[in-house]
Amino acid sequence: MDAMTIGVDLAKSVFELAMTARDARGIVRRRLTRPQFERWLATQAPAHVVMEACGSAHHWAREAQRAGHRVTLLPAQHVRPYAIGYQKTDQTDAAALLEAVRNPRIHGVAPKSIAQQELLALHRIRTHWMTTRTARLNALRGFLQELGITMPRGARTTVVRTAQLIDDVTSPLPPRLRHALALLLSEIRALEERVAGLERELAHVAAEDRVVQRLLRIPGVGLLSATAVVARVGPIHAFRTARRFASWLGLTPKEWSSGHRRRLGRISKAGDVYLRCLLTHGARSVLLAARGAQRRLRPLTRLQQWGLDTAQRCGHNKATVAMANKLARLVWVVWARDVDFAAQPPRVAV
């Protein structure tokens, strides 16, 4: 047991500390600047340091662990109800951490390593670039549509057709707009080159990570999904079962139950939106491949047959979400049990 529990309200420059010992009832408060907090971590006797899982929390968690402290990161949305009073101050936030950490139902967040944060940053940069590229493509389509020029669907087709219009001197593009559209088109191509280079970096990471290589063998789990899961989740054994992992991703239904009556609704959409989006896209690809194999009279795997049966019973959209849930559980099994995924034939009805 730790002799002292310390709640730290993190900030950019000023840190508020609330400390309590096991044999004391009162709370000792301290306010430290950033350099003072760094020195305090190095000189303080080993204690239980509790912080909210905010932007800089993982950095300070690594610093505290390096100094010999035990660190617990709590989700901010679960800490707020423990703040006593109507005023929001650094002191009430630090004291709320001491109360929230006593609740065994609040599960902490595992501190991320620098490698994990680096991988997450690559994914976020790619997302920003893809969002910018989509905005530029939509603007390009809108400008052309105002001139009566419509473009077929597809980003690649839009880029190629626009380049042809710019190069064609007989096209109905005004001279000044022609130059502006050429600049916009070059920006789109530059963004695509950046995204391609970043995806090559992710491929290098995947080639060096054994867990990622195993996850890539799961149908519907590609380079982005596998690397994002490894970067975001951390230790998979923090989730005791596959269902808990799927629930953390928000892929299990909400529940309104009382007594003997149990009501299940739509998925909760809790957890990481990016991971849930990637797994949902992967589930769509699995169902699409299953339908293609069925049309070509090719043998189906057990996963594909299950997806087709679910789609026939519940519809395509619900089957997609159910398949995403199934993929999340497969990710947990392959990672937690350290096994390889092996496609199995469908069960034969007896």
Which residues lie below 8 Å from residue 182, measured CB to CB, with a gap of 6+?
166
Give the pLDDT mean for 105-127. 93
Residue 1 pLDDT > 80: no
Residue percentage of the chain with pLDDT more than 90: 75
pLDDT band at 85 (very low <50, low <70, confident <90, very high): confident
Give the pLDDT mean for 37-50. 93
Which residues lie below 8 Å from residue 74, measured CB to CB, with a gap of 6+?
50, 51, 52, 53, 97, 100, 101, 106, 108, 109
Residue 25 pLDDT > 80: no
pLDDT for residue 23: 64
List the domain boundaries for the chain. 4-100, 114-208, 213-336
CA 254 to CA 265: how far, in whole Å? 5
pLDDT for residue 153: 85
CA 302 to CA 344: how far, in whole Å? 5
Residue 199 pLDDT > 60: yes
Per residue in 310-329, pLDDT (tens digit) is 999 999 999 999 999 999 99
Give the pLDDT mean for 31-39. 94
pLDDT for residue 24: 59
pLDDT for residue 49: 95
| Residue that is written with structure tokens 């001491």 in the block | 98
**CATH architecture of the region 4-100:** 2-Layer Sandwich (3.30)
Give the pLDDT mean for 83-105. 89
| Residue that is written with structure tokens 């149990």 in the block | 262
CA 350 to CA 348: how far, in whole Å? 6
Give the pLDDT mean for 22-41. 87
Helix (H, G, I), strand (E, B) or coil at 113: coil
Tokens standing for residue 128? 């920003």
Containing H/E element for 180?
helix 175-208
Give the pLDDT mean for 134-149. 93
Please spell the DSSP secondary structure of 29-64, one letter per residue.
Answer: EEEEEHHHHHHHHHHSPS-EEEEE--TTHHHHHHHH
Give the pLDDT mean for 103-128. 93
Residue 250 pLDDT > 70: yes
Burial letters 107-122, b for 16+ CB under 10 A, else e:
ebbbbbeeebeebbeb
pLDDT for residue 36: 95
pLDDT band at 350 (very low <50, low <70, confident <90, very high): low
Give the pLDDT mean for 147-174. 90
Give the pLDDT mean for 80-86. 84
Which residues is 5 bridged to in the sheet?
A: 20, 48
Residue 112 identity = K
pLDDT for residue 347: 77
